[in-house]
Amino acid sequence: MRRLIYAAVIPLLLLIQVSFCSDHIELPTAGWTISKSSQAKIDANAIIKAAFSSSSVYKRLAYMTDTYGPRLSGSSALERALDWVKEEMEKDGLKVQEEKVKVPCWVRGHEYATLLSPRVKSLRMVGLGGSVGTPNGKPLVAKVLVVSSFEDLKKREIEAKGKIVVFNVPFQNYGTTVNYRYSGPEAAEKEGAVAALVRSISPFGLQTVHTGEMGTAGIPSAAVSLEDAEMFARMQARGQEVVIELYMEAHTLPDQLSRNLILEIEGSEKPNEIVVFGGHMDSWDIADGAMDDGGGAMVSWEVIRVLHNLKLTPKRTLRAVLFVNEENGAKGAQQYFQDHEHELNLTSIAIETDEGTFTPYGISFQGSKAARAILNDIGMGLLSTIGAGNVTGSGVGTDIAYVCDQGVPCGNLLVLDPRIGNLSNNPCNGFSHPPYPEADPLKSAYFWYHHTEADTVDKLSPQQLQHCAAALGVWTYSIANLNSLLPR
């Protein structure tokens, strides 16, 4: 994921002072002040009430994940899930547009890893997305070299040749540690390794193994559990010889045709101007993908369903996109960007929800100070009743990154990690700057389940999904109803 910081050129008139912890921000023009409009409050409360009075999101998410299971791009399960979603949307009385997307098709096939020395043990392992299989369709047997970092690998480069390199790197945060999953295999291949095993990118494990996309490498690459990676390191430190047998059938088939699903509520005054938001339908092939990101896709659909039922039409068009291929290629995001590039200067904001649909507390925002002030006003005025009105520092998800890179204001729905919840150490009581306290990575439960078999619907509650739909509904509807597009 790329992040872009641009210097916003703000006209003198719009210059505002955003001071640390201050919620008294001078708004650019009087017309912006949402919290003073009684109609805006009535609409927001109607959206909140409607979202909290329906259990359809959870039911649909549970049905989809139970019935179709994992939805990797290129799989028939993804296509059947998309067909079902489309039919259900039509039953809701919504018009669905399909946008064709060519997606990669990676197939895991059968795979296993066995520790042969110093004892025999069947290992928990999952091949990394994009990996090749073991050569000639045969298992390979090799000695193991455990390294603790890229630097450590460099120091021991002579030892790496002909070995299975294990990257035993403890989780710091996702953005940092995921580099080992992405670039580890290629680095090991460069030193002549025959395979790469990466400690699962997670702060905690119960022999859980986490897959995910890797960069390009010509050697078979897989994830192992935290526990086993630690054990290999202990064995190596004692001078024990560690030998592993690895077998993988992973391969890549030709690209397949899939689609993004799009729902709209056409704007009443400025139908060509757009507020776009969404989540992704695809998941890894071992994960039901309830948290990542079935919940985000279902909640985006729910926003349109709720507004449609309430017959609430904002000034601008609201567009929900259920993307495909977020996990291994972002082709759905690229296709959306290509098909809608001509509309980017008419896009007020793009909002993604892909961090788990737990209890929402606001949005992270990338854009101008003037736009941020407006969002703070909306958050305080219309979302504080459900605690979802915080606006924090920048964040851009994969599915909207292409749009954001072109200067469109962007946001991510922020959710409380299920294991976090103590706000008393936030100097601002959770509001405004500084952002909501950084999640303690050691307590971050999202990454316990992310890209594993354990990403199932029980990790979410019906109330959390309703809460997310309420929050996303008020945010998107209110922004679509402003007097103007959000200032760049």
Could you list the residues that contact Zn ion (CB under 5 A)?
A: 292-293, 354
What CA–CA distance (Å, rounded) separates 19 from 360?
24
Q: How far is the CB of 35 from ligand NAG (least distance, A)?
A: 11
Name which of 147 and 445 has its Cβ closer to Zn ion: 445
Evaluate whether 148 touches 418 at the Cβ level (below 8 Å): no
What's the N-to-C CA distance of the chain in angstroms?
22
- Given the complex with Zn ion, which of 283 and 481 has the nearer CB atom? 283
The Cα–Cα gap between 147 and 412 comes to 35
Query: Cα(278)–Cα(289) distance, rounded to whole angstroms?
Result: 15
Tell me the residue ranges of DSSP E strands in 183-299: 195-199, 221-224, 243-248, 251-265, 270-280
Under rule CB under 6 A, residue 442 binds ligand NAG: no
From candidates 4, 42, 257, 423, binder to ligand NAG by CB under 6 A:
423
Identify which of residues 114 and 179 has a Cβ nearer to Zn ion in the complex.
179
In the three-class reduction of DSSP (H, G, I as helix; E, B as strand; rest coil), residue 309 is classed as helix
| Binding status of residue 300 toward ligand NAG by CB under 6 A | no
Interface with ligand NAG (CB under 6 A), residue from 56, 390, 456, 464: 390
Q: Which does residue 43 bind out of Zn ion, ligand NAG, none, counting CB within 5 to 8 angstroms by kind?
A: none
Closest CA to 393 of 18, 11, 13: 18
Q: Does 430 bind ligand NAG (CB under 6 A)?
A: yes
Q: Which residue, 67 or 429, is less far from ligand NAG as judged by CB?
A: 429
Taking the CB of residue 484, how many other CB atoms lie within 10 A of it?
15
Partner touching 332 among Zn ion, ligand NAG, none, CB below 5 to 8 Å by kind? none
Q: Tell me if residue 354 falls in helix, strand or coil.
A: coil
What does 376 bind: ligand NAG, Zn ion, none (CB cut-off 5 to 8 Å by kind)?
Answer: none
- Rule CB under 6 A: say whether 278 interacts with ligand NAG: no
Which residue, 71 or 199, has its beta carbon nearer to Zn ion?
Answer: 71
Whichever of 115 and 388 has its CB closer to ligand NAG, that residue is: 388
Q: Which of 167, 232, 284, 361 contacts ligand NAG by CB under 6 A?
A: 361
Q: How far is the CB of 471 from ligand NAG (least distance, A)?
A: 9
Query: Does 79 qualify as catalytic in the annotation?
Result: no
Catalytic residue among 326, 327, 352, 355: 326
Task: For residue 133, state whether it binds ligand NAG (rule: CB under 6 A).
Answer: no
Helices 369-378, 462-480: crossing angle, 10 deg rounding: 120
If one asks whether residue 349 binds ligand NAG (CB under 6 A), the answer comes out as no
Residues 6 or more apart whose CB falls under 8 angstroms from that of 35 comprise 41, 377, 378, 380, 381, 382
Helix (H) or strand (E) holding 125, with range, is: strand 125-127
**What's the token pair of residue 156?**
């021991």
228 vs 207: CA distance, rounded Å: 8
Query: Quick one: tokens of 454?
Result: 């354990």
**Least Å distance between CB 402 and ligand NAG?**
18
Shortest distance, position 265 Cβ to ligand NAG, whole Å: 20
What the block records as the tokens of 430 is 């959770």
Question: Of residues 14, 321, 380, 471, which one binds ligand NAG by CB under 6 A?
Answer: 380
Task: Give yes or no for residue 418 binding ligand NAG (CB under 6 A).
Answer: no
Alpha-carbon separation of residue 116 from 188, 239, 246 (angstroms): 21, 16, 10
> Minimum distance between the CB of residue 387 and Zn ion, rounded to whole angstroms?
24
39 part of the interface to ligand NAG, by CB under 6 A: no
What CA–CA distance (Å, rounded) separates 470 from 46?
Answer: 9
Select the binding partner of residue 302 from Zn ion, ligand NAG, none (C-beta < 5 to 8 A, by kind). Answer: none
If the CB atoms of residues 273 and 292 are measured against Zn ion, the closer one turns out to be 292
Residues in the chain: 488
- Chain positions 42 to 61 lying near ligand NAG, rule: CB under 6 A, are none
User: In sequence order, what E strands does 324-455 have?
Assistant: 347-352, 360-366, 390-392, 410-415
Closest CB to ligand NAG among residues 222, 391: 391
Least gap, CB of 1 to ligand NAG (angstroms): 24
Interacting partner of 388 out of Zn ion, ligand NAG, none (Cβ under 5 to 8 A depending on kind): ligand NAG
Q: How far is CA 187 from CA 173, 214, 334, in A?
A: 21, 12, 28
Q: Tokens for 154?
A: 């460099």
Which of ligand NAG, Zn ion, none does 293 bind, CB closer than 5 to 8 A by kind? Zn ion
Closest C-alpha to 364, from 333, 324, 337, 404: 404
Residues tagged active-site:
326
* Interacting residues with ligand NAG (CB under 6 A): 345-346, 361-362, 379-380, 383-384, 387-390, 416, 422-425, 430-431
